[in-house]
Amino acid sequence: MQELKHYIDGVAVAGTSGRFSDVYNPATGEVQARVPLATPAEVDAIVAKAAEAQKGWAATNPQRRARVMMKFGQLINEHMDELAELISREHGKTLPDARGDVQRGLEVVEVCMGAPSMLKGEFMDSGGPGIDLYSMRQPLGVVAGITPFNFPAMIPLWKMAPAIACGNAMVLKPSERTPSCAIRLAELFVEAGLPAGILQVVHGDKEAVDALLDNDTIQAVGFVGSTPIAQYIYGRAATNGKRAQCFGGAKNHMIIMPDADMDKAADALVGSGFGAAGERCMAISVAVPVGKETADILIEKLIPRIEKLKVGPYTAGEDVDYGPVITAASKDKINGLITSGVEQGATLVTDGRNFSLQGYEDGYFVGPTLFDNVTADMEIYKQEIFGPVLSQVRAETYEEALKLTMDNEYGNGTSIFTADGDTARDFASRVNVGMVGINFPIPVPLSYFSFGGWKKSAFGDLNQYGPDAFKFYTKTKTVTARWFSGIKEGGEFNFKAME
């Protein structure tokens, strides 16, 4: 069995704790590797090495750092299929989905190639009598990234690329469930010219996370995961005087108006709700059709599309729509929530609980599940299921649908499908959600904007990637300068003239 290692100062290093976590193949339920879990002492030693390396990197001019980003982006492109294979093997998502995972991370790397223009300060001459003022954006030092299992390339790249482009060193702790892609990305970064030690990859569980949060050298922490953990990390980081951007869970709604193109809306719901087995924080998990006729038509269009979905291991080919969920515990939780929906009175239209695949009976597969007549007091509505389950909540009016979205405790993403511009503009203006799609099901902003939710989906003032990332990973220093004009008389300065 493969035993994975930490990646420290540009080389693979075995763990010393004696503790390991199993890495499973979700399609078969078999253990395929072990990953070491670092002790606080190991974490502190790695952080100290990163701090030493960061001094030289901070002194490297932004243009040279950008050249490393350019080479890194080139290498990611060249190794796209290899990285996707690593992701699919540990996560279970299909190869096209895994390539998309890498691609969305690569796009952030591409934006970071323009880091010099993002790191410019401001200047004003003669802001006062003989006074010039200017500001500088300087790196924080050593920062940490704590990333989830569901996007093993994209989210580590969202963290590491802007942090390192700004002149910081990063200690990355990827999910122990999907660790291999992060290690390979670190190797490619060093191959691109990144000095050893600027990107350290340490594996671990809560013990390692707490060590990062309590280490005085770590200046900022970026996290993506569940809301309870996001809230915990944000609170502990803030208590220790660190910057933190922590992104949590979601319950994303799509409102479907009577004038919407119903075929496009149904296609969007199936792709968004069931892609990646529903294991993404931007998945649409709640469909809100307005009016009985709209709801009835939508259900009729969803059923045949869902029944045609092909579920299987990534090795089955490119036409597989989605694969297994990440763990046996996840499968049990999802199945339990489906059962609760039935018990609480929702109409189960398609049932994925008894899905079985010949040859993969021990895999963590859940079939596509569709509920109708879901209400806001049901557990399947209140909880983030993080699985291939779509709930239809019927609304009589647009205002009722809007209120349902706004009253939800999460505020990550939302969408509306309509042919009416006034309705779309009203929705975008009023809804209290961080990312909004208009006739667009997964409104993840392009990489030169910034990603971030509202309410219990995000903790912190600045978003991921884009302009906000360069603000988050730098601190501003402002200089007020005054140069006196002394007049030499007989070889001596006339200090009176300088008064």
276 vs 152: CA distance, rounded Å: 13
Angle of CA points 434, 168, 221, to nearest 5°? 45
Exposure of 78 by Cβ count < 10 A (0-12 exposed, 13-18 middle, 19+ buried)? exposed
Q: DSSP characters for 199-264?
A: EEE---SHHHHHHHHH-TTEEEEEEES-HHHHHHHHHHHHHTT-EEEEE----EEEEE-TTS-HHH
Residues 25, 30, 33, 36: is their CA dihedral positive or negative?
Answer: positive
Angle of CA points 336, 365, 86, to nearest 5°? 130
Single out the residue of 269, 247, 257, 293 nearest to residue 412, CA to CA.
247
Catalytic, 181? Answer no
Q: Are 212 and 159 in contact (CB under 8 A)?
A: no
Single out the residue of 463, 7, 35 nearest to residue 194, CA to CA.
7
Q: Are 417 and 290 in contact (CB under 8 A)?
A: no
Single out the residue of 79, 152, 61 nearest to residue 115, CA to CA.
61
**What is the tally of helices (H) and strands (E) in the chain?**
16, 25
Question: Which uninterrupted H or E stretch holds 134?
Answer: strand 131-139
Catalytic residue among 112, 181, 246, 281: 281
Write down the residue that tokens 């003032």 correspond to: 461
Please state at what angle helix 398-407 crosses helix 421-430, rounded to 10 degrees: 20
Cα R_g (the chain), whole angstroms:
25
For 416, which DSSP code? E
Q: Are 388 and 368 in contact (CB under 8 A)?
A: yes
Exposure of 145 by Cβ count < 10 A (0-12 exposed, 13-18 middle, 19+ buried)? buried
Catalytic residues: 281
